[in-house]
Every structure is written in structure tokens, then in C-alpha cells.
């Protein structure tokens, strides 16, 4: 197991519940799962998994959500309704039901039947990282902490997927970090726009941690440190965009 240490560059308090000192150290012992939408930079997502493993977390792989979640075709709507055994409902309602079901099965230690069906029907793909085999049964475990990666590269997810998934995970009290990759060559995008709905919400901002620079190594380190902090019920917001408290979490002596 490798502990991650990061030197804090901020001389002022950057967390609601702890004063700053020089170092924050992460040594994760809990299982973790990375969820991401197709279209996001796979190298960044895979590197996040590898760094989480180096910090001691058991991370089987990546749960990739595909664009079938758009439900633009009637066949896709019918397929999802069959998986969920859902009756007549709106497209939005069907999608939110699916995401709530995923949130309840991920890390719950119970049945993963719906998640398996979503993989079989193409709504979810399992991403192997570093040659480590992955299957649905290996993903959920009691006490799993979740990293949801999103970004301006996967605009379809921003529109329909990210917020309802985060709200479902929060509702299930699943320790979660929402991390944004920002494409600096996108003149229409602003850093932290993908995490703003959490940072601007009085409830979510106290339940879900955010990072707005996952495309940088420092952002991936911040994700690890933030995920570790969630084990102590410390929530924070990191990066360089609007609403960030500091670039990385800081550490207080016990």
C-alpha cells in the first residue's frame, strides 16, 4: 500500500472543518469505484484508477456509461424499460429510475441484477485498467466510495446524466467525489461548470466533494485526498474554478 502525500500551497484555511498544516496524507483501505461517461478522456480516467490503487484502494475498474442513456430512439427506451421492469413513464423519468437503481446497487453489497442487465444491453460498459480483469460481481462492495468523472468533452452527460446520478448517490449516502475534466481549448466552456450544481446547492455541497481539474495530475491527487477525507465525513471543493476552496485538501494533526 502506498500513501499519497501532497504539500499544501495555501496559507489560509481551505476546509470547513479543519485548519491547514503542511501535509495531507492519503492511505485508502476501502473499495472504490470510478464511474465515467463515454467521450471523456480515457487516459485521464484510467490514470485516476491507477493512482487510487497506489493509494491503497481496491478499484476493480471503470463503469463506463454509454450514450444509449440519451434514449433518443424508441428501441433504447424500450430496452431500458425492460431492464428496469418499468411501466409507462417519461423519458426523463425512465432515465432517472435507471440511475437511481445503479446508485442503489453500486457499493450496496446486495443484488447487482439490474447492473448486469444494463451491461448486457449496452447501457454500461466495464473498463479494464492495467490488465486487471473486471466483471459486475467484482464492482460493488459494502462501503464502496465513488468517483464520478465528467467534463466538457462529454457534453451529452452534462445535459442528462451527471446531476441525477450524483443526486441518487447522495440520497443513498454513498461517499462521492464529482471530478471534472476541463478542455481549455473549448471557448464556450468555463472551468467548474460541470460541478457547479453541487457547489451551488446548500445540501449537495455538504454531502458531495468536487474537483474541477481532473485533467491535471494535481487534480487526480486531489480526488484521492478528497475520497480519503470522506471517510472522516469531511467534504470539500478543490481546483481553480468558481467555488473551489483550495487546490487540494489539507491535513490537521490528530
DSSP letters, the chain, are ---EEEE---SS--BTTB---SEEEE---SBEEEEEEBTB-HHHHHHHHHHHHHTT-B---EEEEPGGGG--SHHHHHHHHHHHT--S--HHHHHHHHHHHHHHHTTSSS--HHHHHHHHTTSEEEEPBTTB---GGGS--TT-EEEEEEETT-HHHHHHTHHHHHHHHHHTT--EEEEEE--TT-TT--TTTTTHHHHT-TTGGGT-EEES-TTSHHHHHHHHHHHHHHTTT---EESSSTT--BSS------
Give CA–CA dist 157/85, Å, rounded. 24
pLDDT at 239 over 80: yes
Cβ atoms within 10 Å of 186's Cβ, excluding its own = 12
The chain-wide mean pLDDT, for the chain, equals: 86
Question: What is the pLDDT at residue 183?
Answer: 84
With contact defined as beta carbons under 8 Å apart, do 98 and 106 qualify? Answer: no
pLDDT at 185 over 80: no
pLDDT at 14 over 90: no
Percentage above 90 pLDDT, the chain: 65
Q: What phi and psi values does residue 228 have, to the nearest 5 degrees?
A: -65, -45
Of 174-178, 218-222, 250-254, the poorest mean pLDDT is in 250-254
- Mean pLDDT throughout 93-99? 94
Angle, CA 167 vertex, CA 143 and CA 248 arms, to 5°: 70
With contact defined as beta carbons under 8 Å apart, do 180 and 195 qualify? Answer: yes
Please name which of 208, 187, 184 lies closest in space to residue 198, comparing C-alpha atoms: 208
Q: pTM of the prediction?
A: 0.88
pLDDT at 140 over 50: yes
pLDDT at 253 over 90: no
Higher pLDDT, 19 or 55: 55
pLDDT at 7 over 50: no
- Classify residue 11 as left (phi > 0), alpha (psi -120 to 50) or beta: alpha
pLDDT digits (tens, 9 = 90+) for 35-60: 999 999 999 999 999 999 999 999 98
Q: Which CA distances in Å does 236 have to 4, 20, 244?
A: 18, 13, 8
pLDDT at 204 over 70: yes
Amino acid at each position: 500500500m502506498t500513501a499519497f502525500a501532497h504539500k499544501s500551497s495555501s496559507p489560509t484555511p481551505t476546509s470547513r472543518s479543519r485548519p491547514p498544516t503542511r501535509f495531507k496524507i492519503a492511505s485508502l483501505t476501502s473499495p472504490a469505484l470510478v464511474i465515467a461517461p463515454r467521450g471523456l478522456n480515457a487516459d485521464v480516467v484510467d490514470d485516476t484508477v491507477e493512482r487510487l490503487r497506489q493509494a491503497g484502494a481496491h478499484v476493480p475498474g471503470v463503469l463506463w456509461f454509454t450514450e444509449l442513456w440519451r434514449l433518443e430512439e424508441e428501441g433504447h427506451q424500450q430496452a431500458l424499460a425492460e431492464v428496469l421492469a418499468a411501466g409507462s413513464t417519461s423519458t426523463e423519468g425512465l432515465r432517472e429510475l435507471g440511475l437511481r437503481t445503479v446508485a442503489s446497487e453500486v457499493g450496496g453489497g446486495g443484488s447487482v441484477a439490474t447492473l448486469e442487465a444494463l451491461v448486457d444491453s449496452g447501457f454500461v460498459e466495464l473498463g479494464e485498467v492495467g490488465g486487471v480483469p473486471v466483471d459486475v460481481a467484482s464492482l460493488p462492495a459494502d462501503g464502496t466510495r465513488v468517483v464520478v468523472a465528467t467534463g466538457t468533452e462529454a457534453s451529452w452527460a452534462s445535459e442528462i446524466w451527471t446531476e441525477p446520478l450524483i443526486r441518487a448517490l447522495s440520497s443513498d449516502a454513498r461517499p462521492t467525489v464529482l471530478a471534472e475534466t476541463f478542455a481549455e481549448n473549448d471557448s464556450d466552456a468555463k472551468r467548474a461548470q460541470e460541478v457547479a450544481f453541487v457547489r451551488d446547492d446548500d445540501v449537495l455541497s455538504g454531502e458531495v466533494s468536487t474537483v474541477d481539474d481532473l485533467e491535471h495530475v494535481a487534480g487526480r491527487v486531489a480526488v484521492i485526498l478528497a475520497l480519503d477525507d470522506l471517510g472522516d465525513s469531511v467534504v470539500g471543493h478543490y481546483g481553480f474554478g468558481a467555488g473551489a476552496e483550495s487546490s487540494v485538501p489539507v491535513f490537521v494533526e490528530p
